[in-house]
């Protein structure tokens, strides 16, 4: 048996289009919170930090996930 080296066939990332619907939904929630804080209490606007943080978490999770296909295995 020959000892073949493991070679990378393809290496890449997922595209952010997989987060399109959640990010658009979170953007609408942020806009709704900002409009509500304009008409009621200004402090209500600080609630926009929650969906903003979650959208950053989604974006970063997709950005940092790397897929690698080799001759021996699939790595994530």
Identify the domain containing residue 20 by its residue range.
9-75
Structure confidence at residue 1 as a pLDDT band (50, 70, 90):
very low
Short-list 60, 62, 66, CA closest to 15: 62
72 Cβ contact list (under 8 Å, min separation 6): 6
| % of the chain exceeding 70 in pLDDT | 96
Residue 3 is assigned to a structural domain of this protein: no
Q: Which helix (H) or strand (E) holds 3?
A: none
How many structural domains does the chain have?
A: 1
pLDDT at position 73: 84
Residue 14 is assigned to a structural domain of this protein: yes
**Tell me: the pLDDT tens digits for 26-75?**
999 989 988 888 888 878 778 888 999 999 999 998 888 889 888 888 88
């Amino acid at each position: 048996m020959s000892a073949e080296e493991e070679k990378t066939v393809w290496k890449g990332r997922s595209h952010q289009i997989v987060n399109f619907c959640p990010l658009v939904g979170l953007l609408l929630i942020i806009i709704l919170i900002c409009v509500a804080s304009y008409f009621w209490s200004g402090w209500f606007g600080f609630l926009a930090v929650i969906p903003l943080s979650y959208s950053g978490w989604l974006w970063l999770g997709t950005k940092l996930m790397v897929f690698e296909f080799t001759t021996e295995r699939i790595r994530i």
